[in-house]
Amino acid sequence: MYGEQVLVVPENASEYWFFDHYRVIVSRLLSNKYFVSVDVFRRNWVFKQYEEHCIDKYCLLYAELEPSNYDLRETGVEKIIVTGLKYDDHKETINVRYILEKEPTYPLIERLFYQSWRIIGCGQPISAWETGCPEENG
């Protein structure tokens, strides 16, 4: 909902790193749900239905996805949000965010990290520079 503020309980945040470049932040919200933010990067935006909010020539891209389409409903994932940036004629995907009903375990955090790359249309990363995104081959 627009104008709604989500407050984070700072002492309940943790950070995980994958391949020394991609961060996953987990934080408990005051609602006792959990927010998981996964850094990704793709030089493309593959989503057809999304919102675009612009200031001058820079835009925030926002797509909300259904967890059941990604086999994540049984994990407690309530919501998936993908964000990107648009500038000039370029669109980039930069983040996948999840709202969870319960505290994620490390195996779930790792699963969400790799699932985030598949959600944005890339394969499983094998290093910081080899992410399996189609544009790497061209």
User: For every one of its 138 residues, what pLDDT tens digit does the chain have, with 9 covering 90 and above?
Assistant: 344 444 545 567 888 999 888 999 999 888 889 999 999 999 999 999 999 999 999 999 999 999 989 888 788 999 999 999 999 989 999 999 999 999 999 999 999 999 999 999 998 888 888 888 988 765
pLDDT for res 92? 96
- Whether the CB-CB separation of 48 and 123 falls below 8 Å is answered with no
- Using alpha carbons only, what angle is made at residue 42 by residues 105 and 100, rounded to the nearest 5 degrees? 25
pLDDT for res 13? 86
pLDDT for res 135? 82
pLDDT for res 137? 62
Cα–Cα distance for residue pair 102/118, rounded to 1 Å: 23
- Residues with Cβ < 8 Å from 11, sequence gap 6 or more? none
Question: DSSP H helical segments within 36-119, as ranges?
Answer: 106-119
Cα–Cα distance for residue pair 19/65, rounded to 1 Å: 26
Burial degree of 71 (CB within 10 A; 0-12, 13-18, 19+):
exposed
pLDDT for res 1? 37
